C-alpha cells in the first residue's frame, strides 16, 4: 500500500479540493502526506532580455535579478503560509503532514519529487469540464498523468467552496478488458479497497456485434451464437478475477458485464454522485498519443463525477 501521498497545490481553490480525498486515503493507509507548491524561477525570457540590455548598453526595461529574487521570496513565504494553513486541520486529526515549496517547472518538479520515495501516490485536481481543452494541451495535471511512473489520483474540481468533509467511497470500480494492461491496476484496486474497507466491482464492456447484411440468410442465429459465446467467456473471465480479489481479502466483490462502449459503461457505473473510486490503468508512455487523443482513460478522467486512480503498468513506466 502507499506510504506517501504527494499533493501538489498552487494556491487555488481548485487545487484545494483534492485535500479531503488525500486525507481520507492517507488516514486509511497509514501514509504520510506531503503538500508541495512549485514557484517559477527567474524567467529565461527576462534573463535573455537583461543580457541583451547589458551588452547593448540600453536602459533597463526588465526587472533586475535581485528585484525578482525579492518578489520570489515573498511568493515563497505566502506559499509556505498557505500550505501550513492547509495542513493544520489534517495534523490535528493525527496525520503526519509535511510541506515544501520548490522552484522550477511545476510538472517536472512534481515528477522528480514523486520519484524520490517508493510507494508514493500523487493526488492532483483538474479544473473541471470547462477546462478540458486546456487540460489536454499541456497543463500541469496533463503532464503529470501522462508521465508519472507512480499512481495518480485525479479529482475533477466542482464549483463552490472547498469542503473539509471526508468523501464517502462506496465501492472501488475496476474496469478490465482482458488485457495485461488493464489487469495491472488490480493490485492497487485491491489495496485501496482493503484499506478503505469497501467492496469492489469488476467491470467489463461487451459491445454488441454489428453484422450488417453480411449474413442476410442466417444473421440472427449467427449473432445469437457468437454473442452467447462472448457472454460466457466474459462471465468466466470476471469470475476468475473475482476469486483472485476475494483471495486477496476483498470479500464483497461483484461482477458486471455492460453492453455499452467501455467509457460509457465505466461512467454509468460511477454514477452522477461520484461516490465510487475508479481504478484503471493507462497503456504506458508508448500510448500517450492515443491516450490524449481520446482513449477510454482520457474520457473517464475528463467526465467522471468522482475520483479516478490512474495506474501505469510497471513495465511501461
DSSP of 209-266, one letter per residue? Answer: P--TTTTTTTHHHHHHHHHHHHHHHHHHHHHHHHHHHHHTT---EEEEEESS-HHHHH
- Dihedral angle, C-alpha 224, 219, 208, 239, nearest 10 °: 20
Domain boundaries, the chain: 1-167, 168-317
Q: In 3D, which of 18, 25, 310, 22 has the Cα closest to residue 163? A: 18
Topology, domain 168-317: Rossmann fold (3.40.50)
Closest CA to 250 of 166, 153, 171, 169: 171
Give the number of residues written for the chain.
Answer: 317
pLDDT at position 156, please? 83
- The Cα 154–Cα 86 span in angstroms is 19
Angle (CA) 174-307-129 rounded to 5° is: 120
Confirm if 28 and 96 have CB atoms less than 8 A apart: no
pLDDT confidence of residue 244: 97
- What's the pLDDT at 125? 87
The pTM of the full predicted model, rounded to 2 decimals, is 0.83
pLDDT tens profile 45-90: 555 555 555 555 555 555 565 677 787 888 899 999 999 999 998 8
Which single residue is written with the C-alpha cell 460511477? 270
Grid cell listed for 187:
493490485
The reply to whether 168-317 shares the fold of 1-167 is yes
In CATH, the number for domain 1-167 is 3.40.50.620
**Per-residue pLDDT tens for 276-304?**
999 999 864 433 343 343 478 888 988 89
Positions in the chain short of pLDDT 50: 128-138, 284-294, 317
Amino acid at each position: 500500500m502507499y506510504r506517501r501521498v504527494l499533493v501538489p497545490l498552487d494556491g487555488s481553490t481548485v487545487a484545494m479540493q483534492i485535500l479531503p480525498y488525500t486525507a481520507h486515503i492517507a488516514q486509511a493507509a497509514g501514509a504520510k502526506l506531503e503538500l508541495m507548491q512549485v514557484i517559477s524561477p527567474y524567467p529565461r525570457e527576462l534573463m535573455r532580455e537583461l543580457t541583451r540590455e547589458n551588452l547593448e548598453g540600453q536602459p533597463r526595461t526588465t526587472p533586475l535579478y535581485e528585484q525578482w529574487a525579492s518578489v520570489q521570496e515573498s511568493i515563497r513565504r505566502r506559499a509556505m503560509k498557505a500550505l501550513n494553513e492547509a495542513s493544520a486541520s489534517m495534523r490535528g486529526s493525527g496525520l503526519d503532514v509535511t510541506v515544501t515549496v520548490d522552484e522550477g517547472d511545476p510538472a517536472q518538479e512534481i515528477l522528480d519529487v514523486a520519484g524520490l520515495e517508493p510507494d508514493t501516490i500523487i493526488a492532483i485536481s483538474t479544473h473541471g469540464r470547462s477546462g478540458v481543452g486546456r487540460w489536454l494541451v499541456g497543463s500541469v495535471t496533463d503532464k503529470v498523468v501522462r508521465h508519472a511512473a507512480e499512481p495518480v489520483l485525479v479529482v475533477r474540481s466542482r464549483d463552490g467552496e472547498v469542503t473539509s468533509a471526508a468523501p464517502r467511497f462506496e465501492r472501488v470500480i475496476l474496469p478490465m478488458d482482458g488485457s495485461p494492461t488493464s489487469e495491472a491496476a488490480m493490485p492497487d484496486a485491491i489495496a485501496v479497497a482493503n484499506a478503505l474497507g469497501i467492496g469492489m466491482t469488476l467491470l467489463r464492456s461487451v459491445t454488441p456485434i454489428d453484422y450488417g447484411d453480411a449474413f442476410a440468410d442466417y444473421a440472427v442465429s449467427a449473432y445469437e451464437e457468437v454473442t452467447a459465446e462472448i457472454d460466457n467467456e466474459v462471465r468466466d473471465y470476471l469470475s476468475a478475477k473475482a476469486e483472485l480479489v476475494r483471495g486477496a481479502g476483498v470479500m464483497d466483490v461483484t461482477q458486471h458485464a455492460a453492453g455499452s462502449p467501455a467509457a460509457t459503461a465505466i461512467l454509468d457505473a460511477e454514477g452522477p454522485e461520484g461516490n465510487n473510486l475508479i481504478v484503471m490503468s493507462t497503456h504506458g508512455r508508448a500510448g500517450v498519443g492515443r491516450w490524449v487523443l481520446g482513449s477510454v482513460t482520457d474520457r473517464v478522467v475528463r467526465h467522471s463525477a468522482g475520483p479516478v486512480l490512474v495506474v501505469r503498468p510497471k513495465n511501461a513506466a
